[in-house]
Amino acid sequence: ADPCCKSYGLGVVPYSPLARGVLTGKYMTNQTPDTNSRAGRGDARIHQTELRSESLVIAQKIKEYAEAKGVSSVAFSLAWVLNNKAVSSVIAGPRTEQHWDSYMAALDYSLTPEDEAFIDDLVKPSHASTHGYTDPNYPIEGREIYHHSI
Question: Could you report the per-residue pLDDT of 68-80, keeping only the tens digit for each?
Answer: 999 999 999 999 9
> 50-74 burial, b for 16+ CB within 10 Å, e for fewer?
bbbeebbebbebbbebbeeeebbbb
What pLDDT sits at residue 122?
Answer: 95
What pLDDT sits at residue 1?
Answer: 54
- From residue 41, give the alpha-carbon distance in Å to each of 28, 35, 89: 16, 6, 28
CB 78 within 8 A of CB 90: yes
Phi, psi of 145 (to 5 degrees): -115, 155
Mean pLDDT by 10 residues, the chain (150 residues): 80 89 88 81 82 91 97 96 90 86 92 96 87 83 72
Which of 133, 147, 105, 146 is CA-nearest to residue 48? Answer: 133
What pLDDT sits at residue 48?
Answer: 81
What pLDDT sits at residue 45?
Answer: 81
pTM: 0.83
Which of 54, 55, 68, 70 is CA-nearest to residue 24? Answer: 55
CB 83 within 8 A of CB 1: no
What pLDDT sits at residue 54?
Answer: 92
